Amino acid sequence: MCVGFLSIAPLNPGHTLVVPRVEIEHWIDLDSELVGHLFKVTQSIGKALAREYKPVKVGTIVLGLEVPHVHIHAVPVWNPTDLDFHNAKPNTSSEALAQEAQKIRTALTALGYAQAAQ
């Protein structure tokens, strides 16, 4: 029903997007089953982010101004300004993103989410 992947312009290491496979522009147009599933997956990823990065909180944002497709941001945060998109890091290398993705997959697997290895 959805996929999770790292942002190419992360606010912090581990910044993950959860995106439904069906193209829907606005989250208020999602059916209730899909909303529930998206947030369940986001919560699972949030648990992995908390385990790996040990932030004060894992923040979520449903914004969708930059891309006309629903997506939920899950971001490890230590300060409220960590969720300010003016602080995005668009020049993060693909190697750095791959390393972060592996850390999150490992944390998801350790938490019992076997589908993370796919």
pLDDT digits (tens, 9 = 90+) for 6-33: 999 999 999 999 999 999 999 999 999 9
Assign residue 107 the CATH number of its domain: 3.30.428.10
pLDDT digits (tens, 9 = 90+) for 63-91: 878 888 999 999 999 999 999 999 999 99
Tell me how far apart the alpha carbons of residues 68 and 50 are, in angstroms, rounded to a whole number: 28
Domain annotation covers residue 90 = yes
The total domain count for the chain is: 1
Domain annotation covers residue 55 = yes
DSSP code for 83 = G
Q: Is the pTM of this model over 0.85?
A: yes
Domain annotation covers residue 73 = yes
Long-range contacts of 50-54 (CB under 8 A, 24+ apart): 50/76, 51/107, 51/110, 51/111, 52/14, 52/103, 52/104, 52/106, 52/107, 53/12, 53/13, 53/14
Domain annotation covers residue 80 = yes
Domain annotation covers residue 61 = yes
Tell me how far apart the alpha carbons of residues 57 and 8 are, in angstroms, rounded to a whole number: 21
Domain annotation covers residue 102 = yes
State the pLDDT at residue 118.
58
Q: Give the domain range for residue 52.
A: 24-117
